[in-house]
Amino acid sequence: MAKIAWESVQKHWCDLMQEEAHLLEERIYPDDLLPDAALPYQVGARKCSFGIDCNLAGYHCRWAWTNPDYDPFTERPTPVLPL
């Protein structure tokens, strides 16, 4: 039987929740490794640790299922250059 586990793969400061959010992956590990597989697991799903909380609070984010165009985990902060 395959092993299924949710693992944190990325962290990000969430401006909406004012806390550090985790991007979680549902990883499926088969009993037997396939010889031609690039990874020892398959990704079944992804979610944010605050997805449901943000949805209930009305925040608009891809992980709250309310705005597919805004993904805070892919945004890169603009570097601040010294004067």
Say yes or no to pLDDT of 66 above 70: yes
Q: Which residue has the tokens 């570097």?
A: 79
Whether the per-residue pLDDT at 4 is higher than 90: the answer is yes
- Which helix (H) or strand (E) segment is 53 a member of? helix 51-57
User: Nearest 5°: phi and psi at 41?
Assistant: -145, 170
- Whether 23 and 46 have beta carbons less than 8 Å apart is answered as yes
- Quick: pLDDT tens for 14-59: 888 899 999 999 999 988 776 777 778 889 999 999 999 988 988 8
Chain position carrying tokens 């993904």? 71
Instruction: Provide the phi-psi class of 18: left if phi over 0, else alpha when psi is between -120 and 50, else beta.
Output: left
